[in-house]
Amino acid sequence: MSTVTAGSPAAGSFCIPRSRRRINMPRFTMTVRSSNAVSVGVAPILTKFKHDCATPLPLLRHVADAMATDMRAGLAVDGGSDLKMILSYVDTLPTGNERGLFYALDLGGTNFRVLRVQLGGKEERVIATEFDQVSIPQELMFGTSEELFDFIASGLAKFAEKEGGKFHLPPGRKREIGFTFSFPVRQTSIDSGILIKWTKGFAVSGTAGRDVVACLNEAMDRQGLDMRVSALVNDTVGTLAGARYWDDDVMVAVILGTGTNACYVERMDAIPKLQGHVSPSGRTIVNTEWGAFSNGLPLTVFDRDMDAASINPGEQIFEKTISGMYLGEIVRRVLLKMAAEGSLFGESVPEKLSTPFVLRTPDLSAMQQDTSDDLNAVGSILYNIAGVESNLSARKIVLEVCDTIVMRGGRLAGAGIVGILQKMEEDSTGLIFGKRTVVAMDGGLYEHYPQYKRYLKDAVKEILGLEKSKNVVIEHTKDGSGIGASLLAASNSKYEHDF
């Protein structure tokens, strides 16, 4: 590919010693038409990329319809579609009457969190909460099941030791835990479930096919920790329960963090595959596991390559297109190609840019918040992360790539939400669009990426139209899943209770 001009690094954008600056300086070739021009080789890559990522309204409608269709197929029979539509065994939602001391443990993706809450019933509600957060060491994500669960149990033991103040356990009782486990589990009862497979980059040996509650109980035994799991809860289900505690209109919960998933309140008579299980309320929460959805998504060669190189090729395609773990990596792959084939950063390809996952989604977000004329922050992030010097037009292209990926992700997530709402409305006219309906949302991606959030909300409006979308409220619930899991521990307590 011929280089017309090579960009000059924008001087003074960040402070680095001259000698170091020289090391990464792109070599100049031929005549310099404009100090801000980048290679013409980049343009066709960008054009094709944007074209392949496009999410026009008909495509979003198609995705929403396909989501609804896949939900039905997954409810009809196990294995009926990409969507597992897992029964949560949560048949009663929090009432507000829950009382007592309960714990929650959340194993999600990047961190595990422990939480205790003292619940005071309808009047006092949440009397006190305390929580702690520990990041999961990388090596434990690839270690053995025992190592991972021992680490968790020991973190829980340390946290439980510090209980005091407003937290009280009646004598003779064990502490009860709501265990939020955000990986696909075939639930067998409210307090047991078999891990189907790890996702989100976890590859722990010896857990798939096992009851994760038993894994935790055994680790707690090894730690001499006398607690019991009374509810095993997917994080979406915990979020729904936590949000519902405050607002009766919550019908759906969505997670957009490291990974993604959604759950919703379903009628028992709309679940043909359900055999023998009776819910006194006539409803239950269904965990869609929508990360595995794949129908009609606009994918690029970069998505396919990333998927092929992943530890679960061919799986979790929706998750790989819209969730926080992957957005940065897709952008990195695009930039690498632009650098190699279009001399985006001058003639040399920055070595660091070849490292998978070196560019993270929070970096994309930080770059997109840069409103300065010379895109200073974009320049320093590119330098710090990828070791590249960039001129203004290269920075603009980087932002365009970020925006393309984030727009596609946010809009597809919005289409997924509409798919769920549509399915519920089709089964019970007026249930969703005839009144206020709340979608509880949790996860770091939605919380910390304003552009993503905007694209998602706009897409929901665009697909539903103004009238219908007025009734749909997407509400961020901070740590809803932790409180929700403890509420479910309360309502499933093995001790006598009247809530």
Does 109 engage in binding with ligand ADP (CB under 6 A)?
yes
DSSP 8-state secondary structure symbol assigned to residue 351: G
DSSP string, 200-247: TT---BT-TTSBHHHHHHHHHHHHT--EEEEEEE-HHHHHHHHHHTT-
Radius of gyration of the chain (CA): 24
Residues 164/225, Cβ–Cβ less than 8 Å? no
Separation of CA 142 from chain center: 20
Contact residue for ligand ADP among 120, 206, 362, 387 (CB under 6 A): 362
Q: Binding of ligand ADP at residue 449 (CB under 6 A)?
A: yes
Q: Which residue is nearest to ligand ADP (CB)?
A: 324
337 classed as catalytic: no
Tell me, residue by residue from 69 to 108, as one string, x for binding to ligand ADP by CB under 6 A and - for no binding.
---------------------------------------x
Q: Where are the beta strands (DSSP E) in 121-195?
A: 126-135, 175-181, 185-189, 192-195
Exactly one of 110, 192, 312, 451 binds ligand ADP (CB under 6 A); which one? Answer: 110
Of the candidates 82, 91, 191, 235, the residue annotated as catalytic is 235
Using rule CB under 6 A, residue 238 touches ligand ADP: no
Order of strands, sheet of 250-256, starting from the edge strand that comes earlier in the sequence: 86-87, 283-287, 260-267, 250-256, 437-442, 472-476
Over the window 365 to 394, marking each residue x when it contacts ligand ADP by CB under 6 A and - when it does not, the resulting string is x-----------------------------
Q: What does the DSSP 8-state code read for residue 109? A: S
Parallel, antiparallel or unpaired: strands 472-476 and 86-87: unpaired
**Closest distance of CB 183 from ligand ADP, Å:** 11
Using CB under 5 A, which residues numbered 78 to 117 contact Mg ion? 108
Q: Are 481 and 244 in contact (CB under 8 A)?
A: no
CB of 396 to Mg ion, least distance (A): 34
Q: Binding to ligand ADP (CB under 6 A): which residues in 464-483?
A: none
Binds 167: which of Mg ion, ligand ADP, none (CB < 5-8 Å by kind)? none
Nearest distance from residue 106's CB to Mg ion, in Å?
A: 6
Candidate list 204, 438, 445, 489; residue touching ligand ADP; CB under 6 A: 445
Examine residue 482 and tell whether it contacts Mg ion (CB under 5 A): no
What is the C-alpha separation between 148 and 23, in angstroms, rounded?
Answer: 42
The answer to whether residue 396 is catalytic is: no
Q: Which of 91, 191, 200, 320 is catalytic?
A: 200
Size of the site for ligand ADP (CB under 6 A): 17
CB 38 within 8 A of CB 249: no
Please give the Cα distance from 288 to 283 (Å, whole number). 15
Q: What are phi and psi of 166, to 5 degrees?
A: -85, 0
What residue 197 binds from Mg ion, ligand ADP, none (CB within 5 to 8 A, per partner kind)?
none
- Taking CB within 5 to 8 Å according to partner kind, which of Mg ion, ligand ADP, none is near residue 448? ligand ADP
Q: What is the helix (H) or strand (E) element at residue 475, kind and residue range?
A: strand 472-476
Residue 443 makes contact with ligand ADP by CB under 6 A: yes
- List residues near ligand ADP by CB under 6 A: 108-111, 257-259, 324-325, 361-362, 365, 443-445, 448-449
- Residues carrying an active site annotation: 200, 235
